[in-house]
Amino acid sequence: GHDVQYLFDWDDGSDSGWLAVGTTTASHSWSAAGTYDVRAKARCATHTDVESAWSETLEVIISEGGGDHYNSPASRLILTEVNWSSTWQSQVQVTDVTGGSVVQVYYNTGTDRRGPFSLWNNGTGAAGSSVSFANIVSTIDSLDPDPFAYGSTNGALELITQDESHLIQAAVRTYNGGNSRTFPALTDCVTNTAALSRELVIPNLSNDADYRPSVALFNTGTCSMTLEVKIWGSDGTQIGSTMTRTLAGYEMSVLASELRQDTYSNATVTVDVTSGTGRVLASGQTAHRTSSDPAAHVAVQGLGSFANSPGDHLVLTEVNWSSSWQSQVQITEMTSGSVVQVYYNTGTNRRGPFTLWDNSMAASWGSSVSFSNILATIDALDPDPFTYGSTNGSLELLTQDGSHRIQAAVRTYNGGYSRTFPALGVNAANTAGPGRKMMIPNLSNDADYRPSVVLFNTGSGSVTVAVKIIGSNGAQIGTTTTRTLAAHEMSVVASELRQDTYSNATVTVEVTVGSDSVLASGQTAHRMTGDPAAHLAVQAE
C-alpha cells in the first residue's frame, strides 16, 4: 500500500532523478545523435532503499535532421581566431542563408570583449547573398566608438543575427601576400566543443625542422573554465608536460611557446576541460618555418557518437601525388588494436582494399602512424599494375569493426606550401544527399586565386550532382555544372569554376538524382605562389 516513485536513465550520463509521488512520465532531449537505451526503475517512497530491478530498455534513435547538424547555418557562429598585424590580416565572408539577416559582431581578444557592433544589415537582401570584409579586425576598429588598439591583436569572432529564424554561414581566410589558411565558422554546440567528459583532438601537429604549431582556445560562455592541453606522440605516450589554462568568460587564448618546448612530428594534441560547466572551442595551426605559410588543423571529437567523432569508416576527399605535390596522411588510434584497410578511388577506378596499418598489438589509445606520401605507400601495397603517380583521388580508411575507431588527417604539400584537411565520417552532417544541400564558402576565381571542388560518391549507386556558384547578391554566376558519379567515383570540378571572374562567392553542391550521399570539399590556390588552402563544406540549410 505504499506509494511508488520512478526514475528514468537516459543513457547519456544523466537521469531524471526520483520523480515525485504520482508522477509517471518524464521528458528528455539529447544533445548528440546516437542510439540510446532508455530504462526505468521504481522504489518505495516510504522505504527508499527498496528498489526494483531495471526495466527492459527502450531504444531511442536520435538522428541529425535538417537544420540540426553541427555545421548547419545558425544565428550565432564563432571564428576561433582572426588576426591583424603589420603583415597578416583576416578576410571574413558572411553568407545570409535565410535572407533578411542583421548581423552583429563581438571581438574577443584575451579577456577583452568588444561589441556588439552592427556589422552587416541585409534586412532586404535575398537568401544566399553574402558580404566580405578584407580586414575584419580593421573593420571592427572603425565601428568601435571607444578607444582600443586593435592593431597587432588576434581574437575570436562571434557573429550573431537578430533571432533564430535568421541563419548565416561564415568563413575566414587569414593571409599574408600569397600565403593563407582558411577556416569555417563554428556553432557553439556539443559536437564542436570540449566540455567536462568530452575531449577535443587536434591531429597532425608538428614542432620540427619544417613546422611550428599553435592552438587557439575560446570559452564560448560566461563561466570560468580550466583546461588541460597535452601532446601525444606516435606511440601513444605524452610528450612534455601538461599545459593548463584557466579561461574567464568569453576569453580567447593562444598556446604557442608551450607547444614548442619539445621536438615532434605528426603528433596529436588533446584539449580537456577539468573544471567549469561551459564549452570550449579549439583549433590548431602550423606555420612553415621557411615560407611562413600557415595551415589550419580542425579539432574533432576524441570519443562519442558525434558527426566528427572517431569512426570505423573515414574518408579523405582528396590526396595527391605528382612531380611536385604529395599527400602526407596521419592516422590515430582512438580505441586500441585497430587494423586499418584502405581504398583509393581515382576517377571510377577503385583500388583495394589493402592493409595499411596493423595496430592490433597496441595496448592503448593514442598511438598513430604517418605516411609521408600515402599514394606511394599504396602503390607499394598494390600487387597489380596501376600507375599511381600523377593521380589524385579519395581515400577510404576502414577498421575491422565498429568497436575499433580512428581519426585521420591529410597534409598535401609542395616544399613550404601546404593545405590540411580532416578525414570525414560518412553521415548526414558531412554529406549532400536527397533534400540535403552542402555549400562551400569563400571561393574565388580572380587575380589572386583559382578554385576547384572535389566530389566523392560514398555509395554503391549512381548519383547526379549539380554544382552552382552563388555571388554576393544571392544570384547564380555562370551556368550549373552537372556531374553524374558512378559508385565510389571521385571527380574534380575545376575548369567549369574558372569560366567567370568572382571573389568570395559560395558554391553549392546538390544531389539531383540518386539516393546515395556525396562528400565535397573546396580548394583555392594562389596564382603566384601556388599556395593551396582547403575550404570545408558545410550544410546549406
Residue range 183-210: mean pLDDT, rounded: 96
Using an 8 Å Cβ cutoff, are 37 and 196 in contact? Answer: no
pLDDT at residue 364 tops 80: no
Q: pLDDT band at 64, cuts 50/70/90?
A: very low
What pLDDT is recorded for position 63?
52
Provide the pLDDT for residue 277.
87
Q: 45 pLDDT exceeds 60?
A: yes
In the prediction, which pLDDT does 365 show? 85
Residue entry with cell 605535390: 325
Residue 33 is predicted with a pLDDT of 58
Task: Name, in order, each residue with C-beta under 8 angstroms of 182's C-beta and a sequence gap of 6 or more.
Answer: 171, 172, 173, 174, 296, 442, 524, 533, 534, 535
Question: Average pLDDT of 368-388?
Answer: 97
**Is the Cβ–Cβ distance between 213 and 102 less than 8 Å?**
no
The pLDDT value recorded for residue 363 is 61
User: Which candidate, 94, 87, 146, 84, places its Cα nearest to that of 115?
Assistant: 146
Question: Of 535, 525, 453, which Cα lies nearest the Cα of 494?
Answer: 453
What pLDDT does 270 receive?
Answer: 98
**35 against 413, higher pLDDT:** 413
CA distance 377 to 531: 25
Overall average pLDDT of the 521-525 stretch: 98
Contact 458, 426 (CB under 8 A): yes
CA 210 to the chain's CA centroid: 24
Q: 225-262 pLDDT, tens per residue?
A: 999 999 999 999 999 999 999 999 999 999 999 999 99
Q: How confident is the model at residue 66 (pLDDT cuts 50, 70, 90)?
A: very low
In the β-sheet with 58-62, what is the strand arrangement from edge to edge? 4-9, 34-44, 58-62
Would you state the cell numbers that stand for residue 105, as one nine-digit string? 559582431
Average pLDDT, the chain: 95
Which of the two residues, 167 and 59, has the higher pLDDT score?
167
Radius of gyration of the chain (CA): 24
Check residue 221 and give its pLDDT.
93
pLDDT of residue 61: 66
Is the pLDDT confidence value at 190 over 50?
Answer: yes
C-alpha cell at 411: 597534409
Burial 142-178 (b: 16+ CB within 10 A, else e): eeeeeeeebeebbbbbbbbbeeeebbbbbbbbbbeeb
How many Å apart are CA 517 and CA 428, to the nearest integer? Answer: 8
pLDDT band of residue 65 (cuts 50, 70, 90) is very low
* Integer CA distances (angstroms), 537 to 252, 462, 522, in order: 25, 21, 7
The reported pLDDT for the residue numbered 62 is 66
DSSP label at residue 48: T
End-to-end CA distance of the chain: 55
